Amino acid sequence: MVGRLVFLALLIVPIIEIALFILIGQAIGVWPTIASILLIALIGSAIIRRQGLRLLAEIRETMGEGRLPARAVADAMLVAIAGVLMVVPGYFTDALGLVLLIPPLRHWFYRWLSRRMGLVGTGPDQPAPTATTGPRVIELDPEQFRPR
């Protein structure tokens, strides 16, 4: 499933970018189109650097308090993804990168991801995960298995 989504993204995103380059290039001209792509990449790099440094400080502070910085690490990951999207030339990827740089939207995306993922932490107050805390596994011989 994920492989198909990645394949579709790799196929569809360049087509969208080419179409946007053509439409915007026809509307404002070739040189303004190229200049705007370079300007957006520079602005994106500056924003990412600023937010990235802020997130690193937040991670250090959270770890200094002895707490797991899951939210700050997730924000840092999303800012890094936004940075890659903004450095890649194209209007569609720049728009996606800008969306990931908006803190309320990152918060929504973080909540969405946290409902679909589990976080296992270990530390002095948390036991290490064991085989008994995970899902039950029932091993079957080939003759005991039948498809539904």
What is the per-residue pLDDT for 71? 80
Tell me whether residue 2 is in a domain.
Answer: no
Tell me whether residue 32 is in a domain.
Answer: yes
Please tell me the total count of domains within the chain.
Answer: 1
- Cα–Cα distance measured from residue 94 to residue 40, given in angstroms and rounded to the nearest whole number: 7
Tell me whether residue 130 is in a domain.
Answer: no
Report H helices in 29-102.
30-64, 70-87, 91-101
- Give the pLDDT confidence of 21-47 residue by residue, as tens digits: 999 999 999 999 999 989 988 887 888
pTM to 2 decimals? 0.67
The whole domain housing 97 covers 12-115
- Cα–Cα distance measured from residue 142 to residue 148, given in angstroms and rounded to the nearest whole number: 14
- Give the pLDDT confidence of 76-128 residue by residue, as tens digits: 888 888 888 888 889 999 999 888 888 899 888 888 877 877 655 555 555 55
Tell me whether residue 124 is in a domain.
Answer: no
Tell me whether residue 143 is in a domain.
Answer: no
Tell me whether residue 133 is in a domain.
Answer: no
Phi, psi torsion values for 126, nearest 5 degrees: -125, 130
